[in-house]
């Protein structure tokens, strides 16, 4: 390597130390909050329908009208997409650390505010809830590129994949804790305020105190993020940003000397030499970027987009799938709090069996078998399991076969998380130059969130029964769950093909991947190797 800085070499070869774990916890807590806040809404949408959209004389409990349900579930995604693009760009302009504090504060404040949503009528409450959830999503969006970039720039090259994966694995913990918080709160309220099922007493089945339940569940997410704010602010700026983007060799050497507890020489002249090299002069919208990284960005953005269509369409509408296979009883046979408890319990079981283990398999194996292999394997297995759910779908929905359906469903989740859901987050933080790293990660992540929006809303309408009489109230007839699963299997197959555009970064330094300190010809050679090496 022609001119690697001493401070970056020290980071690349550093043994795993205490500061690595503190960085994982600090960045991971942000991600825990992201997942909790994004997914906890799906636990309480049925309750919101019962409280705010009760229809007198109806044989079934109130449900959110389609447009309201789409807004409540999806407005945070729109916010996240905007936040990923904005804060990703800002992280490269102002520095990772400064922007990191802003996103956390925004998440904490909006998480509390969404639980305090107010209004004279149902419209008012839903409007304020959507307003605060948009800004909550905006903060969450910033956390994606910044958490990944900070962790990749702090890590050594030997275990970098595992460290970034460990931050992302907190998403699984957030989903699980969301379910458990909902179980604890709904069961304690249920035991304290007894209520008959809806079929017995439509009004009495939703006790007035149920209005506190969804608010507490939404607000709880602010707690872990608030607790880590102090440590997030004490983290020094990453040496790669300070040296390669801000061009302050003295600060980078001094920060990392404290962190690594070794003497590091400042090399200001070398920093300027690297920064002024022609290979480091191009911007995001240049021909040179397109030549070097165009296919990489296309690969990271399309794979994340295709994965999230499948991942979010399943995750947000788990409760509908559980009802379809008979895991959750008919709504009229339960009171409001019983329904929250049942949905949360089903979601927690899936998280515990399928979601959480997949993340930690990635952490354990990513630096052994590589990103490329895990992503290909994940997409392939998701395709197979979705076809396994779709082809004999009528068999799975008959009595006595539901457990088999849930096992297959859990395996789909396992291979999403031990697969592209983790790798699409990790790779964009490793293969782009430092001055564009956060921006390119933000673009890839925003492309994923666009997939999540299509997945969640598309599935909401597509999965409706083909017979209009059997479709949910207010929805047009769809193509049914079975055909939707075929469609999702197709998305996974496409994701597998686009994976071939993404280079393998296992065991290589960030500068080697981005070609930042290579000569022009060498850089082009490194960058054009797309397949694993």
What is the C-alpha separation between 299 and 169, in angstroms, rounded? 22
Answer with the residue of higher pLDDT: 525 or 375.
375
What pLDDT, on a 0 to 100 scale, did the predictor assign at position 529? 46
Helical segments of 427-476, H only: 434-462
Minimal CA–CA distance to 306: which of 383, 245, 243?
Answer: 383
Structure-token match 């960005």, residue found: 297
pLDDT in tens, 383-441: 999 999 889 888 877 777 777 777 887 788 889 999 999 999 999 999 999 999 999 99
pLDDT in tens, 363-372: 999 999 999 9
468 pLDDT exceeds 90?
no
Residues whose CB falls within 8 Å of the CB of residue 453, separated by 6 or more in sequence, listed in order? 74, 77, 78, 81
Which helix (H) or strand (E) segment holds residue 6: the answer is helix 6-13
What pLDDT, on a 0 to 100 scale, did the predictor assign at position 200? 93
pLDDT in tens, 197-248: 999 999 999 999 999 999 999 999 899 888 888 888 888 999 999 988 989 9
Q: Stretch 26-52: mean pLDDT, rounded?
A: 91
- On average, the pLDDT of the chain sits at 89
pLDDT band at 144 (very low <50, low <70, confident <90, very high): very high
What pLDDT, on a 0 to 100 scale, did the predictor assign at position 533? 36
Answer with the residue of higher pLDDT: 521 or 483.
483
Q: Stretch 460-469: mean pLDDT, rounded?
A: 79
What is the value of pTM for the model shown?
Answer: 0.91
Query: What domains, with CATH codes, occur in the chain?
Result: 6-265+284-518 (1.20.1250.20)
CA distance to 42, 91, 247, 251, 515, per residue, from 276 (Å): 50, 21, 10, 19, 14
What pLDDT, on a 0 to 100 scale, did the predictor assign at position 259? 87
Answer with the residue of higher pLDDT: 522 or 470.
470
317 pLDDT exceeds 60?
no
Q: Is 10 within 8 Å of 264 (Cβ atoms)?
A: yes
């Amino acid at each position: 390597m022609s001119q690697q800085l001493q401070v970056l070499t020290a980071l690349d070869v550093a043994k795993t130390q205490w500061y690595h774990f503190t960085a994982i916890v600090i960045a991971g807590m942000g991600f825990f909050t992201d997942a909790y806040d994004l997914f906890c809404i799906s636990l309480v949408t049925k309750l919101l329908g019962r409280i705010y959209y009760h229809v007198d004389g109806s044989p079934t409990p109130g449900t959110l009208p389609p447009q309201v349900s789409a807004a409540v579930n999806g407005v945070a995604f729109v916010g996240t997409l905007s936040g990923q693009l904005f804060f990703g760009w800002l992280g490269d302009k102002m520095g990772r650390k400064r922007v990191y504090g802003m996103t956390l504060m925004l998440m904490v404040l909006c998480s509390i505010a969404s639980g305090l949503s107010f209004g004279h009528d149902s419209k008012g409450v839903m409007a304020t809830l959507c307003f605060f959830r948009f800004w909550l999503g905006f903060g969450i969006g910033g956390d994606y590129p910044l958490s990944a970039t900070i962790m990749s720039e702090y890590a050594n090259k030997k275990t970098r994949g595992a460290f970034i994966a460990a931050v992302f694995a907190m998403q699984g913990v957030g989903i699980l804790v969301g379910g458990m918080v909902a179980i604890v709160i709904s069961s304690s309220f249920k035991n304290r305020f007894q209520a008959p099922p809806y079929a017995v007493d439509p009004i009495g089945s939703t006790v007035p105190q149920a209005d506190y339940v969804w608010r507490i569940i939404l607000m709880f997410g602010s707690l872990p993020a608030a607790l880590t704010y102090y440590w997030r602010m004490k983290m020094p700026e990453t040496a790669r940003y300070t040296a390669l983007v801000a061009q302050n060799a003295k600060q980078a050497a001094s920060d990392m000397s404290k962190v690594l507890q070794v003497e590091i020489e400042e090399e200001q002249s070398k920093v300027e030499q690297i920064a002024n090299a022609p290979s480091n002069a191009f911007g995001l919208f240049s021909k040179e970027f397109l030549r070097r990284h165009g296919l990489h960005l296309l690969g990271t953005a399309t794979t994340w987009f295709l994965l999230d269509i499948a991942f979010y369409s399943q995750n947000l509408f788990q409760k509908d799938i559980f009802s379809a296979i008979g895991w959750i009883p008919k709504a009229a046979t339960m009171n409001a709090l019983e329904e929250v408890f049942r949905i949360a319990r089903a979601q927690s079981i899936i998280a515990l069996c399928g979601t959480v283990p997949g993340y930690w398999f990635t952490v354990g194996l990513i630096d052994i078998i590589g990103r490329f292999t895990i992503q290909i394997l994940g997409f392939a297995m998701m395709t197979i399991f979705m076809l396994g759910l779709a082809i004999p779908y009528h068999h799975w929905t008959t009595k006595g076969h539901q457990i088999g359906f849930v096992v297959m469903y859990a395996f789909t989740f396992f291979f999403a998380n031990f697969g592209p859901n983790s790798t699409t987050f990790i790779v964009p933080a490793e293969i782009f130059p430092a001055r564009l790293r956060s921006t390119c990660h933000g673009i890839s992540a925003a492309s994923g969130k666009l997939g999540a929006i299509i997945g969640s809303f598309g599935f909401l309408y597509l999965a409706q029964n083909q017979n209009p009489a059997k479709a949910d109230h207010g929805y047009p007839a769809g193509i049914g769950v079975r055909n939707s699963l075929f469609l999702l299997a197709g998305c996974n197959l496409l994701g597998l093909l686009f994976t071939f555009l993404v280079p393998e970064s296992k065991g290589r330094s960030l500068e080697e991947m981005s070609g930042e300190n290579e000569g022009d010809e060498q850089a082009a050679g490194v960058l054009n190797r797309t397949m694993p090496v």
